[in-house]
Structure 1
Amino acid sequence: MKKIDPKWGAFIAIAFGPLMATLDSSSVNVSLPIIARELHASMSDIEWVVTSYLLAIGAFLLPLGRLGDQWNKKKLFRIGLIAFTLSSLLCPFSQTVFQLIFFRVLQGMGGAIFMSIAPALLVSSFPSSERGRAVGMMGMTVSTGLMLGAPVGGLLTDYISWKAIFLINLPIGVLGFFLAEKFLQEETHCTEEFRFLDFSLFKNRFFVGGNLSLLSYFIALFILYFLTPFYLSDVLEYSPKKVGFVMMTFSLAFAVVTPISGWLSDKVGSQILSPMGLALAVVAYLCASQLTAASTPKEVVLTLLFVGVAAGLFQAPNNSAILGAVKKSQLGVASALIATMRTFGTMLGVAIGTVFFTFFIQKASGVGGHFNVHELSPELFIQGFKPTLWVAAAFALIGFCFSLMRGDTKRHHLVSNV
C-alpha cells in the first residue's frame, strides 16, 4: 500500500479544523430564520448568535497565534478541535436565544485555537513553490464546508430540528483529532524573545495592504451572506431545505475557482488576481441589489455564483501573498492576523448589515424600535435589502483600492527561514 506523502497527510489533518468551522457556520446561517422564530428572537437578538461567536474568535486569535509560534502548534491544534467539538454539544440544549449566544461564545473560543495556527501549519508543511497551491486547496476545503453546510443545515432543520446541526461536529472533531496526532509533525519552539505582536509587520506594505483588503472584502461578503437567507426564507418563501441548496451555489463557485486562482498565483503572482476578484465583487453585489420579491430561482442562483467566483479569485492569491511576505518565525502571528481580519470582517459585516438594514426599514416604514424580520412584507424587506447591498459594494470597492496600493508581491514569494 502506497504511503501518503507527509505534506498531504498534514494537509488532510489540518483541513478538518476549517472544514468543521465552516460547515457549522454555514449550517447556522441557513437556519437563522427558523431559530429566530422558534426562540422568539428579534433581528438584533438573532444577530448575536453569529456576532458572539465571531467576537470570541477575534478576541483570542492573535494571542493564540503568537502562542503557537512559541509553543507546540500540533498540541494546540488538537486542543482546539476538542474544545470546539465539546462546546458544540451544548448548543442543542438552548431554551432561549441568550443561552444559545452563550454556548456560541464557548464554540468561538475553541474555534479560535485551531483557526489561529492552521495557516501556519499548512505553510510550514509545504515548500514555498507549492504554497499558493496549498492555500488554494485549503480554500477549496473551506468552500466545501460552506457548500455542504448550507444544504445539510437546511435538511436537518426541515426534517429534524435546527438543534441537530450542532451534532454533526462530533464525528468530524474526533476524526480530525486522531488524524492530527498521526500526520502533524512536532515543531521546535521559537527561540526569539516573546512578543505578543511583532509591530515590524506593520511596516510591510504588502502585509498591511493584503490584510486591509481582506478585512474590507469580508465586511462586504457577510453583509450579503447574512441577509440572503432571510431574503430567501421570508420574501421568496423558500423552505429551509431550498434555502440551503440555493446558498450552496456560492460555495460551489468558490470551490471551483479557489484552487485555480491559488495555482495561478504561484505562476504569475497575486497583483492581478486579487484586485480582479474585488472588482468582480463590486459588480456582483450591485447585481444582487437588483433582486426583488419577484426574482426567479435562476436569477438568485446566477447572482450567488457570480459572488462565489469573485470570492475564489481574490482570497487564495491574497492570503498566499500575505504569508509569503513574512519570516518563518512570524508565520503563526501572520496566519492569526489573517484569521483575525476574516473574523472581524465577518463580524462587522453582520453588524453593519444589520444596522443599515434596520435603518432603511425604519426609514421606509416610519416606525422605530425592534422588529421581527419574518413579520415584514416582501416589499418592505426589499426596501431595506437593496440599499444595504449598495453598502456592501462600497466596502468591496475599498478593498479593491487597498489591494492596488499593496503592490507586487511576486518577488516576496519565498518565506524566509530567518
Structure 2
Amino acid sequence: MEKVVKPWPALWALVFGFFMILVDSTIVSVANPSIMRGLGADINSVIWVTSAYLLAYAVPLLITGRLGDRFGPKKLYLIGLVVFTIASAWCGFSTSVEMLIIARVFQGLGAAMMTPQTMAVITRLFPPDKRGPAMGLWGSVAGIATLVGPILGGVLVDSLGWEWIFFVNVPVGVVAFVLAWRLVPSLKTNRHRMDIPGIILSAVGMFLLVFGIQEGESYNWGTIWGPISVWSLIIAGIVVLIGFVVWQAFNKAEPLLSLSLFRDRNFSLANAGITTVGFTITSMALPLVFFFQLVRGMTPTQSALMLAPMAIISGVLAPFIGRLIDRTNPRNVALFGLVLLGLSLALYSRLLAPDTEVWVLLIPSALLGLASAAVWAPMSSTATRNLPPQQAGAGSGVYNTTRQVGAVLGSASIAALIQARLAAELPSAPGSQPSGDFSLGGQLPEMLHSGFSAAMGQALLLPAAAAILGAILVAFFEKPRPVGEGWGAGPKTAAQPVVSPSAK
C-alpha cells in the first residue's frame, strides 16, 4: 500500500526555502555601499556580487530541472539547499570582494538546483483542477520575495552590518532543510538519458546570452576584450541556443528539453508572458528607488518601505486568487492583473515629482499589489496544467529560465534607459549617470530634482509597456481543458489518488 502524503505541508516546506533564495536576488542592492566600504572594493567589483549570483542562477535552470526528473525533486532540492546555505556562510565570512563573488556563484548554483523542484512538486502532488491555490502560494512567494529583499537588506545593514544579509540565511537554511526532509515526499523518478551535447549547448548559449545582456551596460555595449564585444557575445549566445533547439529536434534518443512541450499553446504563451513579468518586476524598482533616495532624501530602508503596500496586498490576496482560478478561466484573471500592472506603472510615472505628497505615492504601490496577486498564480497554473508528470521538472526549468532571462533583460534595459533619459533631462549636469556618485549617497541638488524626477518617470514607461505586451500574449490563452483520467505519477496524496496506467 502506497503512503498517503499531504501536499500542503510539503508545499509550505518547499516555499520556505524558495522564498529565501529569491530574497537573495535583491537583498544585496541596498548593501552595495557598505560592502564597498567594508571590503575596499570599487563599484564595478561590487556590481559583480549581484551579477555573479544571477548568472549562476539563470544558466543551469534547464539542466537542474531535468536532473530533478531523473534523480527526484526532493533530492535535488535538498542538495541545492545545502550548497546555498554553506555558500551563504562563506559570503558572510568573505574578507575580499573576489572571495565574496566566488561564494555568490555557489549560492546561485544552489538556488538553480532548488527553484525548478518547487514547481515540479506542485505539478506532481496537486491535480490540475486543484492546483490554483498551490500556484497562488508559489506565485505570491515569488512576487513578495523580490520586494522583501531590499527592505530586509536595509534593516540588517543599518543594524548589524552587511555580513548579516548572508548570515541570516544559515539558520533559515537549516530549518528549511529539516522541514523539506520530513514533509516533502520522495516522488517516483524517471530514468532519463543524459543529453550531453544538449547540456553543453544550453549552458554555453545561456551563459553567453545572459552575460552579454547583464554586463552590457558595464562595458557601454562596446568592446570587452580584444575583438570580443558585448554584441558578439549576445549574438553568439543566440546562435548557440538555436543550435541547441536544432539538436533537440533531431536528437532521436532523449533530448534535454522535449520540444513537444511547446505544442501546448498555453505552455508556450505562459513562458513568453512570464518573461515580460520578470522584465517588469525587475526593471520597475530601480527608477523608484533612485527617486525616493536621491530626490526625496529617503534612506534605503525607507525607500524600500514605499513598496511595502505592494508586498502586503499581494501576499494577502494571493490565496483568494489561487482559489478563484480553480473556478474561473485563469486567462481573465491574468489579463486583468497585467493590464493593471501596466496602468499602475503609468500612474507612478505621472506622479514622480519633487512636490508629490508621500501618501499619494503609496496609491500606485497598492495597485501594484493587487496586480501582482492576479498575475503569478494564473500564469504558473496555466503553464503547468498540461505538463506530463515525467516532464514536470523539465517544464518547470523552462518556465523559471524564461522568468530569469526576462529579469536580466529588464535589469540591463532599465539601466540603459535611465542613462539615456538622464542625459536628455540633465544635459548640463556633471556626473548625471545613476551609476556615479548620485547612487551612493546624499540628495541631489534641488535644481536637479525636476529633471531627475522626469527621467525616472519616463523610464517607468518601459516596464509598463512590457506588462501590456504580457497582457496581449495572455489574451490568446486557450480555455483550460477538462482534467483527464490518469493524472499523477507520485505517491497517493490527500488531494488526488494516483491512477496508474494499468488501472485505466
The Cα shift of 1:242 comes to 1.7
**How do 1:204-219 and structure 2 match up within 5 A?**
204-219=264-279
* Higher alpha-carbon Rg: 2
Structure that is richer in helix per residue: 1
Deviates further, 276-285 or 252-261: 252-261
Q: In structure 2, what residue type is equivalent to 1:18?
A: F
Partner of residue 364, structure 1: 425
The Cα shift of 1:27 comes to 2.8
The Cα shift of 1:102 comes to 3.7
Query: Following the alignment from structure 2 to structure 1, what is the Cα–Cα distance between the partners of residues 166 and 48?
Result: 17
- Tell whether 2:448 aligns with 1:384: no
**How do 1:142-181 and structure 2 match up within 5 A?**
142-143=142-143, 145-146=145-146, 148-181=148-181
Identity fraction in percent: 27
- Tell whether 2:337 aligns with 1:273: no
Q: In structure 1, what residue type is equivalent to 2:297?
A: E
Partner of residue 373, structure 1: 438
Select which of 339, 342, 353 maps to 2:414. 353
- Tell whether 2:61 aligns with 1:61: yes
Q: In structure 1, what residue type is equivalent to 2:362?
A: V
Alpha-carbon displacement from aligned partner over 1:24-63 (angstroms, at most 9, x marks no partner): 3343244446556776654x76654433322211101010
Partner of residue 187, structure 1: 187
The Cα shift of 1:285 comes to 1.1
**How do 1:238-387 and structure 2 match up within 5 A?**
238-290=298-350, 291-366=352-427, 371-374=436-439, 377-387=448-458
The Cα shift of 1:147 comes to 5.5
5+ residue gaps, structure 1: none
Query: Following the alignment from structure 2 to structure 1, what is the Cα–Cα distance between the partners of residues 399 and 283?
Result: 19
Q: In structure 2, what residue type is equivalent to 1:378?
A: H
Q: Count the aligned residue pairs.
A: 414
The Cα shift of 1:408 comes to 2.1
Deviates further, 289-298 or 343-352: 289-298
CA contact (8 A) 1:216 1:396 kept: yes
CA separation of 1:388 and 1:327: change in aligned 2, threshold 3 A: same
Query: Following the alignment from structure 1 to structure 2, what is the Cα–Cα distance between the partners of residues 266 and 415?
Result: 19
The Cα shift of 1:146 comes to 4.5
Query: Following the alignment from structure 2 to structure 1, what is the Cα–Cα distance between the partners of residues 159 and 304?
Result: 13
Q: Secondary structure at the match of 2:326?
A: helix
CA separation of 1:221 and 1:250: change in aligned 2, threshold 3 A: same
TM-score, normalised via structure 2 length: 0.75
The Cα shift of 1:199 comes to 0.8
Query: Following the alignment from structure 1 to structure 2, what is the Cα–Cα distance between the partners of residues 281 and 107?
Result: 31
Query: Following the alignment from structure 1 to structure 2, what is the Cα–Cα distance between the partners of residues 406 and 86?
Result: 42
Partner of residue 24, structure 1: 24
Partner of residue 72, structure 1: 72
Query: Following the alignment from structure 2 to structure 1, what is the Cα–Cα distance between the partners of residues 98 and 412?
Result: 17
The Cα shift of 1:158 comes to 1.5
Query: Following the alignment from structure 1 to structure 2, what is the Cα–Cα distance between the partners of residues 312 and 288?
Result: 18
CA separation of 1:321 and 1:88: change in aligned 2, threshold 3 A: same
CA contact (8 A) 2:120 2:396 kept: yes
Query: Following the alignment from structure 1 to structure 2, what is the Cα–Cα distance between the partners of residues 259 and 267?
Result: 13
CA separation of 1:295 and 1:177: change in aligned 2, threshold 3 A: same
Q: Secondary structure at the match of 1:268?
A: coil
Query: Following the alignment from structure 2 to structure 1, what is the Cα–Cα distance between the partners of residues 486 and 286?
Result: 36
Deviates further, 207-216 or 130-139: 130-139
Query: Following the alignment from structure 1 to structure 2, what is the Cα–Cα distance between the partners of residues 244 and 121?
Result: 32
The Cα shift of 1:94 comes to 4.9
**How do 1:399-414 and structure 2 match up within 5 A?**
399-411=470-482
The Cα shift of 1:152 comes to 2.5
The Cα shift of 1:164 comes to 1.4
Deviates further, 325-334 or 156-165: 156-165
Q: Secondary structure at the match of 2:59?
A: helix
Partner of residue 228, structure 1: 288
Q: In structure 1, what residue type is equivalent to 2:330?
A: S
Q: In structure 2, what residue type is equivalent to 1:326?
A: L
Query: Following the alignment from structure 2 to structure 1, what is the Cα–Cα distance between the partners of residues 108 and 348?
Result: 30
CA separation of 1:142 and 1:305: change in aligned 2, threshold 3 A: same
CA RMSD of aligned residues (A): 2.7
The Cα shift of 1:112 comes to 0.5
